[in-house]
Amino acid sequence: MSDEYITIKKKAFSLLARREHGVEELRAKLRLKAFDDSLIDNVLTDLIGENYLSDERYIEMMFRYHFERGQGPRKILSLLRQVNISEYLSQQAYREFEGDWFESASKVRAKRFGDWLGDILEKPRQIRFLSGRGFEHEHIESAFNAPSQ
């Protein structure tokens, strides 16, 4: 192992110690340090083989974290696309995620705006807010039908 390989691996461990990263996200951060691309590839392959780096684990973390912050699936999937995560893995994680998006949209709406009183002039503003948070249409509609939490 070369000195640069060891340096790259230490930097990768340093980044992974702070939080999970996707493979391509970690690759991009290491490239910013002007390391050799072939050595970066070798380090990433080793980290994946040693189970220190996993796109699946990263996706799960992203869904849990952003769900807890009151963000919807469209927002999370968009964030995953921005860091070059496989669309297939992202969609699979979305289907398998156990969080209740309908309840989350209802809680987020109620927290921001209070009880829904049926004001049709206010509804479009609240719809835009929930849409901006990344909720799907059916989640948003149910937020107006569900009792406030």
Tokens of 149: 């939490």
Q: How far is CA 5 from CA 42, 57, 115, 118, in A?
A: 8, 24, 57, 62
Say how far apart CA 113 and CA 93 lie, in whole Å: 30
For 41-93, what is each residue's pLDDT tens digit?
A: 999 999 999 999 999 999 999 999 999 999 999 999 999 999 999 999 999 99
Q: Note whether 106 and 143 are within 8 A (CB).
A: yes
Domain boundaries, the chain: 3-53, 56-96, 101-145
For 95-106, what is each residue's pLDDT tens digit?
A: 999 999 999 999
Confidence of residue 6 (pLDDT cuts 50, 70, 90): very high
- Identical fold for domains 3-53 and 101-145, yes or no, is yes
CATH T-level assignment (fold) for domain 3-53? Arc Repressor Mutant, subunit A (1.10.10)
Predicted model pTM? 0.85
CATH number for the domain running over 101-145: 1.10.10
